[in-house]
Chains A and B, each alone.
Chain A
């Protein structure tokens, strides 16, 4: 008899799939310490204390968790970059800036289960010998800030933060820092400048944050969802975690869906679940014909609406093979009768507004030229050759900017031209689009 390894879990409909990140959402007072503890909260960090810092990092590595902030860097590996006993203060930062259009998963982790995040940061701090943590939350998340602040106070009063956490000998304290409306603050080095009270321009890398981050000291920064995965990995084990997902994309993830669907929202699925699953089984299907899918937040290239794409597993590799990216898992559906040039212009405008102005390719390329030419197109003043000009500009900007913001803008630009060149041409030839550029607004 041959031993067969169990089939990996790649669907949230699979009876073996049990959501964890959002499992407590919807419970009364889910955000209180009492409620969190009643569900076994803060047991994982005790397990971490019993294991010791290095085995915790090993467990994180073994789990296969990759950063959920968009770039997908292996979390355990990142944690292992922090210098060992170098005698300096180590910092931990939670990136709760969540500003990539289409992304709204961290928001409910913050408001509904703040202790899950605090426990995740405690585990990370212990593993990386960091005794101070900051949660950088975008300024607009008012309820999130209130809930996090209250949870920090509760945790401090219960001896879960402060000196000698739970008698372990480990000191850890945590503070909240509120942002003020700038997308670039989500970029990790810009975030550090912002936290230091400076203009949030990105910093040159290297040095990487693990060598020199906030206040020039060793720092590790992770996304909210990455930290929130840690207590579950410690509690149920790396093998449980990696039983979900595909070969190189392990675990569960929060996927968001917005645009014209019956039930927009956030769904917890194993990596490798298909677009069809989230769109139809969970979001109830589109409300009108769709032409494009933005798979993982506004910076990820658009994909066409067809069966092959709908059946593509949502994991880093499979979406990559289709020419796009998993990103933050923020799916946006663009309806058939919404002008694609207008939709793209909306995003170009966003990135132009958010360009920090530090480097020329982004400030001039995106902030000025790209914006002007798109504005001209949607106003009906496009000329033959404009599309070639956009592509040429894109070529000149790609990979040449200081941080990834300019490239993020090119995602929708280049992909929309590739997929919907006919719409650009029609708009240029006729001075107006064959589709509307405004959506109907619900009366009631």
Chain B
């Protein structure tokens, strides 16, 4: 039951990532097309643009949402791949725990960065 619930979240997180990462990749890599439509810029990694986006509430929230969903989806997928190799029960448990701890630690770090940069003044 627990496994099927986690798998369901894996699928649901894929749909959320599709929108969040689609937005991110569109802005970062479809600059020319977006600029032609009057919606974007061709210098998305320029320092001023990076910090301007980071200090926008909408981007801060979507970055944190993408961080959480992608960490869950990616690490759960990684764990599933390893568990398919017929490992012992105790090793599977250890991998699950390691992925959970790493996921939470990275989520906390990434969220801290997003919030601190959002609050930076005069950059």
The answer on A and B forming one complex is: no
